[in-house]
Amino acid sequence: MYNSDGGDHVKRLRFSSRLVLAAVLAAIGSGLASAQGTFQVVTGKEFESAMPKDFYLEGNAIPTEKRNAFLLKTPAGTRALIALIDTSGYSSEVKKKYIGMLISEGDLSVCGRAMGVGSYGFGLEKPSPASNESGKFCVYDQAGAKVAECAAEKDAEIKQPRPLQVVPAK
């Protein structure tokens, strides 16, 4: 399946995934930035032991993408794991709804809503490709019920977005 500019469907999905992850970090970051102290990226054995091979959503064990994952330690000492998931081979509804997962050991604010300890899926409701409208970043519980949503602003200035990146707040 090709779009009008000659790129293939996979490239569009990768771009969408990158856009969503920027939205995820912005949505989560707004709550994290208000906490005192700093967040640390956790690597090595602690990251390896925290990273699940699959993530369970709506009755599906969906593979995680370890290369597109970060484990963060909050100023309070709790951890939050954010990763992309691989929905290829799943129903179109699952592919459309989810691109990533979040597991939190402490309270976070996502889209201005307090989220407790738990695990969540997330995705992006996108406007049509030609539109300049914002998308919606959505967070779901493991049963698939929407628990939070907020605007995901389109950033036309992104030259080559990365799938998942954690950057310090300015």
Establish if 158 belongs to a structural domain.
no
The model's pTM? 0.76
Predicted local distance difference test score (pLDDT) of residue 156: 73
Establish if 1 belongs to a structural domain.
no
Establish if 57 belongs to a structural domain.
yes
Structural domain of 67: 9-152
Predicted local distance difference test score (pLDDT) of residue 23: 52
Strands (E), 36-87: 40-42, 54-57, 60-73, 79-85
Do 103 and 117 meet the contact criterion of CB atoms below 8 Å apart?
no
Residue 49 pLDDT > 80, yes or no? yes
Secondary element (H or E) of residue 102: strand 100-104
C-alpha torsion angle, residues 132, 164, 37, 45 (rounded to 10): 170
Residue 143 pLDDT > 90, yes or no? yes
Mean of pLDDT values over 41-53: 96
Q: Give 103-123 pLDDT, tens digit per residue.
A: 999 988 888 899 899 999 999
Number of domain units in the chain: 1
- The more confident residue out of 33 and 54 is 54
% of the chain with per-residue pLDDT over 70: 75
Mean of pLDDT values over 33-47: 79
Establish if 81 belongs to a structural domain.
yes
Residue 69 pLDDT > 90, yes or no? yes
Mean of pLDDT values over 87-103: 95
Predicted local distance difference test score (pLDDT) of residue 1: 32
Cβ neighbours of residue 33 closer than 8 Å, sequence gap 6 or more: 169
Cα(74)–Cα(106) distance, integer angstroms: 9
What is the full DSSP assignment across 122-159? EEEE---TT--S-EEEEEE-TTS-EEEEEEE---TT-S
Establish if 170 belongs to a structural domain.
no
Q: Give 154-169 pLDDT, tens digit per residue.
A: 777 777 667 777 765 6
Give, rounded to a whole angstrom, the gap between the first and last alpha carbons of the chain: 40
Establish if 115 belongs to a structural domain.
yes
Predicted local distance difference test score (pLDDT) of residue 10: 39
> Of 28-32, 66-70, 122-126, which gets the smallest average pLDDT?
28-32
Tokens of 77: 């000492």
Q: Which residue has the tokens 């290369």?
A: 67
Tokens of 50: 């925290």
